[in-house]
């Protein structure tokens, strides 16, 4: 975990940059690009289609990762955005998650 994600992030960032390079100034580009799933599975390199503007929105938050719908791992991340083409997950602090699990379901 970690290494794979940062490599794919770099690739994804390049894709976003390419889109901005091709876009004409002042013209919003609406093209769908194939980014790479940033889930925790080392073997996963599934494509995710989204607009570069959508990807930029995800990258604006350091803790957010782009994934193929359904690739989230409930123990370490939570889905913060969901749509037809992709999902956005946020890393859950492992310690905080362990505490939450230990506390069990809310009783109030
Ligand atoms: Zn994946």
Mean pLDDT over all residues of the chain? 83
**In sequence order, which residues have a C-beta less than 8 Å from that of residue 60 and are 6 or more positions away?**
none
- Chain centre distance of CA 91: 10
Contact 67, 85 (CB under 8 A): no
Strand partners, 90: 64, 78
CA dist., res. 8 & res. 80, Å (int) = 20
46 pLDDT above the threshold of 70: yes
Rounded distance from Cα 18 to ligand 1 centre (Å) = 22
94 pLDDT above the threshold of 70: no
Rounded distance from Cα 62 to ligand 1 centre (Å) = 18
Rounded distance from Cα 36 to ligand 1 centre (Å) = 8
Rounded distance from Cα 61 to ligand 1 centre (Å) = 19
1 pLDDT above the threshold of 60: no
Contact 55, 20 (CB under 8 A): no
Rounded distance from Cα 33 to ligand 1 centre (Å) = 16
């Amino acid at each position: 975990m970690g290494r794979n994600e940062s490599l794919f992030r770099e690739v994804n960032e390049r894709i976003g940059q390419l889109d901005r390079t091709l876009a004409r100034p002042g013209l919003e580009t609406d093209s769908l690009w194939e980014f790479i799933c940033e889930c925790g599975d080392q073997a996963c390199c599934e494509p995710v289609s989204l607009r570069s503007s959508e990807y930029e929105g995800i990258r604006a938050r350091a803790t957010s990762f782009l994934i193929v719908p359904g690739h989230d791992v409930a123990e370490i991340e939570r889905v913060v955005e969901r749509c037809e083409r992709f999902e956005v997950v946020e890393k859950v602090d492992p310690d905080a998650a362990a505490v939450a699990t230990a506390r069990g379901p809310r009783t109030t």
